[in-house]
Structure 1
Amino acid sequence: MEARVAAVLILLVSVHSSDGEVHFASYYGDNMVLQKSPERAVLWGYGPDGAQVSVSLSGPTAQKNSLITVINGTWLVTLDPVEAGGPYNVKAATANSEATLTNVLFGDVWLCGGQSNMYFQMSKIFNSSWEMAQAVNYPHVRPFMVALRKSKAELTDLIQVALPWSVPTARGISQFSAVCWLFGRYMYETLKYPIGVVESCWGGTPVEAWSSTRALQQCGLEQNDSPVIKNSVLWNSMIHPLLKMTIKGALWYQGESNADYHQDKYNCSFPAMIDDWRMAFHQGSGGQTAQDFPFGFVQLSTYKKYSTSDEFPNIRWHQTADQGFVPNSRMPKTFMAVAMDLPDDTYDAIHPRDKQDVAYRLSLGARAVAYGEKDVAFLGPFPSHIQSSPLYVNVTYDQTVTVTPSVGIFEVCCSENKTMCGPDFHWVAVSILDWSSNTVQLLTSVCSLNEEVVALRYAWRDWPCDFKACPIYSSSGILPAPPFIIQRDSAAGDIWESS
């Protein structure tokens, strides 16, 4: 296998340099979006060793030629900052050859990664024909797709491109990631300048495949114990080659494959991957990609309607580093789209077709976290204070809530231990007794006389509610409350504090 990887690496370089001509690397092309100011876009490519490459930019704002020497078959230049807009032509030339990129725009570049729900295509979503027909109305939202390829070694360039940078058409985006495209479209509607969306994802893959050995070591996962799942093989071939690209931020939709593979490590492996991506893109771009670039993700939706398994609830919790919400101290500058209220039991349960709401909720998080809009609500309600008595529990939320009475989605842990959930615990569904603008009162007289309520959880099921029918939403009715599990602090008496 190592020999084949080496052969691929040699082929990649030889294809671009042995003919003595200058070329751009694989993920540059006509119609592309380069990162706008204040960041600086990085360009690189191939050429004959020792040749002088002149790189120039022509368009609304011209830049002076940069002269770079080809070393070990490659050249690299960092442009001066360019404001959003275009179109531009970018030319790389030697004394004997030149390569030109045409119709290039400057804007914000977002990388979209993950597994099948990020890979889920525009042609499969609800109202797909109409949604794809809208593509021609967004010529400044430009898609690019990395081909599905693996490698056992870190690659400098992509093995293959599935969709080159393009001006969008209905047919052109039909096989593109729906979440990625719709997010780019929603962001363009807000920002009114070009957006580049880069899809690099693969269905059925765990977080370990997208993580470097360096990141896996942080969680004790560098030793692969599965004969089927290979660590780092997609990081090597589908993320590492992109590190020189200056990006604004990243989106992620993954976790299903970790529901039964290193589930208990996901509260470490996912935040560690984010940290590592941030470090690697910052270094790879020569400091142009922010070292804390914004990272948005989708909390898992649903799978099995009547399942009593904790696999999906546990992963949802671990996606937040076991804090229930983001951003938080372990996961700064992140944002999350809750999706557990978007099930689809008439199609393919693990692949809900409503990707519009997912992308819209991500766009709200991006507007607040990545772009600093102060008046954008992007967080669903989360408990700020819990107080209990023998008959009830009052849950006070951090914002005004919309409440629909429901039985079963709240559960209490009844335990004779009286201090914590242990071997003698059991969870019991409780009813919403009353509510106010930001408080929900739960009837908890369900525990036996020798038991006390020692923990509370919400929506702790694979499929907690029907479509947009969870009981707790933001005051607007748009943002569902995320699931939580909170233990009573025995030292605090009847007052609990959420993490």
Structure 2
Amino acid sequence: MARWRRAFLLLNSLSVLLLILLCAFILPFSTCPHGKDICFASYYGDHMVLQKSPERSILWGYGSPEGGLVTVYLSGPMKHKSSPAPVKKGIWRVTLDPIEAGGPYNVTAVLQNSSTTVTDDNVTVVVQNSSTTITDVLFGDIWLCGGQSNMYFKTSQIFNASEELAIASEYPHVRTFMVALETSDTERTDLIRVSLPWSVPEASGLSEFSALCWLFGRYLYKKLNYPIGLVESCWGGSPIEAWSSSRALQQCGLDQNGKKKQFCSHCENSVLWNAMIHPLLNMTIKGSLWYQGEKNTNYHQNKYNCSFPAMIDDWRMAFHLGSGGQTAMDFPFGFVQLSTSIKGSTDNGFPNIRWHQTADKGFVPNSRLQRTFMAVAMDLPDENSPYGTIHPRDKQDVAYRLTLGAQAVAYNEKDVAFLGPFPKQILSSPIYLNLTYDQAIAAKPSKDLFEICCSQPQTPCEFQSLWIPVSIIQWSTTSILISANVCKPTTEVAALRYAWKDWPCDFKSCPVYGANTTLPAPPFIIHRNQANGNSYLSWNDTFL
């Protein structure tokens, strides 16, 4: 798998770069409003956040005439002047030097245009300057928030919304920007529309912004104490295929599906990538958050273990190349493992997608999903949500769990526990299974969240196989003993799974949590004949 990933990155890097350059300089471009000679692209504006050092921020926009030279000036805590960059095919682009976190700055782009007049007696050179300025600009970390309706879920809709909105003004260095809902059949150079321009948080504007994105940014700011920029680009009811480029879809055999055959305009292949992600590639970012997968519980569900990692790989490559190498090639990518939908449902769509979100490993980061972090949310249901049970109002706990992952993975903070307990060893006897976890656990009784599959030796168990609920018999600080005496004499326990339900438990009431972290154990499925091939898990027989 690692060789496949390296090959994918190497084979596609040149083609991605060429496509990005084509889209930036050949596709039809916008012009500046009101007859201006120079302007910034759509997602630059007053109150924005630019990526701080050690990365270098990219500024770009439109200019006229062709060949005019654009220089960018920063004035604020420090002064900076960029090297001049020419206008090519109506577009200029400048890469700033690394700027430390802070501000505010005024950022001015100056277009110098020289015209020459030749007469019999002399040569006259006329230099004309045009400029445009954005103000109150901060340097910090940029996080892109994408996905479907649970990422789109507004701050005004969460538990304790009024209290959250009331304190918004206490966080003036956490800035927000929202991409408008648009689709496109081709990759766009710039955004078609902006829903919310860069803003200093206040109640009326923040009420419409993504709750999860905002809470993550606010919690992260309290840890880092420097500016955070949040870019929301998400659409309810959208499948992953809409957010993926054709390159990523090809990796999973999905590139020919969804072409004008979908049941909604924003569900077709690549239409949201084209309109709502591709225009942002020139932006230098720190990382990305993702909350999506509900739509894929009944659409290409069995492909999600490919389509999700492929999208992450492709985003990383495209942002790296689009920013001229400033966005990290492996920028941190955090996501929410699906919460719940229907209490009592026996449909396997949600648990199957949860598993596929980890590339069928059960945890992240792993060999297929490196530099990723995950917030488990299956224990945060909301039976009384007025927005439907698929939309839980508790986004605070989800954001807190994501923040822990960001601290550990994105910011390399040591001793930050961000993973729930996961089995590292299974000892099997004819009547018991003994699970040893990789950390101290807090457990309680359960009659049905652990399930075993009985099968003939070497016969694999599938999602649709017969799974038999078994009880927790006892537990210690690091292990759980469960009953296993339900298999017929001619069969054996071939697989074990945990929390394989749409709605596994009530609020924060699943049977296994980290004793020191209160983080839930994630769902898993472990096959006896595959376990010993893993570096992180062993399954051995014992007759003690």
Equivalent of 2:135 in 84, 102, 108: 102
Equivalent of 1:117 in 150, 158, 172: 150
Equivalent of 1:44 in 60, 77, 89: 60
Calculate percent identity across the aligned residue pairs: 67
- Distance (Å, rounded) in 2 between the aligned partners of 1:353 and 1:469: 17
**Contact (CA 8 Å) 1:418, 1:453: kept in 2 or not?**
no
SS in 1 for 2:403: helix
- Distance (Å, rounded) in 1 between the aligned partners of 2:132 and 2:530: 69
**Contact (CA 8 Å) 2:242, 2:271: kept in 1 or not?**
yes
SS in 2 for 1:27: coil
Find the structure with the greater CA-based Rg. 2
> Runs of 5+ in structure 1 lacking a partner?
1-8
Deviation per CA, 1:300-341: give whole Å up to 9, x if none.
Answer: 000011111111111000000000000000010000000000
What is the one-letter code of the residue matched to 2:520? P
SS in 2 for 1:489: helix
Question: Which residue of structure 2 aligns with residue 141 of structure 1?
Answer: 174
1:182 aligns with 2:215: yes
Paired residues for 1:143-222 under 5 Å = 143-222=176-255
**Contact (CA 8 Å) 1:388, 1:495: kept in 2 or not?**
no
After the TM superposition, which of the residue ranges 66-75 and 120-129 deviates more from structure 2? 66-75
- Distance (Å, rounded) in 2 between the aligned partners of 1:446 and 1:352: 36
- Distance (Å, rounded) in 2 between the aligned partners of 1:20 and 1:147: 24
Equivalent of 2:335 in 297, 300, 305: 297
- Distance (Å, rounded) in 2 between the aligned partners of 1:13 and 1:351: 39
1:35 aligns with 2:68: no
- Distance (Å, rounded) in 2 between the aligned partners of 1:418 and 1:83: 58
Question: Cα 1:393–1:102, aligned 2, differ >3 Å: closer, same or farther?
Answer: same
The alpha carbon displacement at 1:363 in A equals 0.3
1:87 aligns with 2:130: no
Deviation per CA, 1:25-51: give whole Å up to 9, x if none.
Answer: 000000000000000000000010222
Question: Which residue of structure 1 aligns with residue 262 of structure 2?
Answer: 227
**Contact (CA 8 Å) 2:439, 2:478: kept in 1 or not?**
yes
Question: Which residue of structure 2 aligns with residue 335 of structure 1?
Answer: 373
1:479 aligns with 2:519: yes
Deviation per CA, 1:415-461: give whole Å up to 9, x if none.
Answer: 24564326995211111111111110001122233332111000000
The alpha carbon displacement at 1:491 in A equals 10
After the TM superposition, which of the residue ranges 270-279 and 52-61 deviates more from structure 2? 52-61
Deviation per CA, 1:9-37: give whole Å up to 9, x if none.
Answer: 99983432782511000000000000000
**Equivalent residues, number:** 489
Say what the alpha-carbon RMSD is for the aligned residues: 2.0
**Contact (CA 8 Å) 2:420, 2:517: kept in 1 or not?**
no
The alpha carbon displacement at 1:377 in A equals 0.3
Question: Which residue of structure 1 aligns with residue 490 of structure 2?
Answer: 450
Question: Which residue of structure 2 aligns with residue 466 of structure 1?
Answer: 506
Question: Cα 1:284–1:424, aligned 2, differ >3 Å: closer, same or farther?
Answer: closer
**Contact (CA 8 Å) 2:82, 2:97: kept in 1 or not?**
no
- Distance (Å, rounded) in 1 between the aligned partners of 2:530 and 2:319: 44
Question: Which residue of structure 1 aligns with residue 453 of structure 2?
Answer: 413
SS in 1 for 2:105: strand
**Contact (CA 8 Å) 1:138, 1:185: kept in 2 or not?**
yes
Question: Which residue of structure 2 aligns with residue 395 of structure 1?
Answer: 435
What is the one-letter code of the residue matched to 2:191? L
Deviation per CA, 1:219-253: give whole Å up to 9, x if none.
Answer: 00000243333100000000000000000000000
- Distance (Å, rounded) in 2 between the aligned partners of 1:75 and 1:414: 65
- Distance (Å, rounded) in 1 between the aligned partners of 2:421 and 2:462: 28
**Contact (CA 8 Å) 1:392, 1:442: kept in 2 or not?**
yes
What is the one-letter code of the residue matched to 1:420? P
After the TM superposition, which of the residue ranges 424-433 and 204-213 deviates more from structure 2? 424-433
> Runs of 5+ in structure 2 lacking a partner?
1-24, 112-127
What is the one-letter code of the residue matched to 2:180? A
Question: Cα 1:286–1:17, aligned 2, differ >3 Å: closer, same or farther?
Answer: farther
Question: Which residue of structure 2 aligns with residue 266 of structure 1?
Answer: 304
- Distance (Å, rounded) in 2 between the aligned partners of 1:358 and 1:284: 31
**Contact (CA 8 Å) 2:27, 2:189: kept in 1 or not?**
no
Deviation per CA, 1:351-378: give whole Å up to 9, x if none.
Answer: 0000001111000000000000111000
Question: Which residue of structure 1 aligns with residue 395 of structure 2?
Answer: 355
What is the one-letter code of the residue matched to 2:373? F
Equivalent of 1:54 in 71, 76, 94: 71
Question: Cα 1:12–1:488, aligned 2, differ >3 Å: closer, same or farther?
Answer: same
After the TM superposition, which of the residue ranges 423-432 and 146-155 deviates more from structure 2? 423-432
**Contact (CA 8 Å) 1:17, 1:46: kept in 2 or not?**
no
- Distance (Å, rounded) in 2 between the aligned partners of 1:167 and 1:234: 27
SS in 1 for 2:29: helix
**Contact (CA 8 Å) 1:41, 1:246: kept in 2 or not?**
yes
Deviation per CA, 1:147-171: give whole Å up to 9, x if none.
Answer: 0000000000000000000110011
After the TM superposition, which of the residue ranges 30-39 and 438-447 deviates more from structure 2? 438-447
Question: Cα 1:411–1:66, aligned 2, differ >3 Å: closer, same or farther?
Answer: same
**Contact (CA 8 Å) 1:420, 1:488: kept in 2 or not?**
no
Equivalent of 2:539 in 486, 496, 499: 496
- Distance (Å, rounded) in 1 between the aligned partners of 2:401 and 2:313: 23
1:72 aligns with 2:112: no
- Distance (Å, rounded) in 2 between the aligned partners of 1:474 and 1:197: 30
SS in 1 for 2:132: strand
What is the one-letter code of the residue matched to 1:488? R
- Distance (Å, rounded) in 2 between the aligned partners of 1:410 and 1:109: 41
**Contact (CA 8 Å) 2:31, 2:62: kept in 1 or not?**
no
Paired residues for 1:316-335 under 5 Å = 316-335=354-373
- Distance (Å, rounded) in 1 between the aligned partners of 2:301 and 2:350: 9
Question: Which residue of structure 2 aligns with residue 383 of structure 1?
Answer: 423
What is the one-letter code of the residue matched to 2:354? R
What is the one-letter code of the residue matched to 1:460? W
- Distance (Å, rounded) in 2 between the aligned partners of 1:367 and 1:491: 30
Question: Which residue of structure 1 aligns with residue 3 of structure 2?
Answer: none
- Distance (Å, rounded) in 1 between the aligned partners of 2:489 and 2:30: 77
- Distance (Å, rounded) in 1 between the aligned partners of 2:330 and 2:442: 34
What is the one-letter code of the residue matched to 2:318? A
- Distance (Å, rounded) in 2 between the aligned partners of 1:10 and 1:467: 53
SS in 2 for 1:426: coil
Deviation per CA, 1:40-71: give whole Å up to 9, x if none.
Answer: 00000001022222211111111124312111
SS in 2 for 1:97: strand
TM-score of the superposed pair, with normalisation by structure 2 = 0.87
- Distance (Å, rounded) in 2 between the aligned partners of 1:424 and 1:168: 48
What is the one-letter code of the residue matched to 1:374? K
- Distance (Å, rounded) in 2 between the aligned partners of 1:455 and 1:11: 53
The alpha carbon displacement at 1:295 in A equals 0.2
SS in 2 for 1:365: helix
**Contact (CA 8 Å) 2:105, 2:138: kept in 1 or not?**
yes
Question: Cα 1:216–1:490, aligned 2, differ >3 Å: closer, same or farther?
Answer: closer
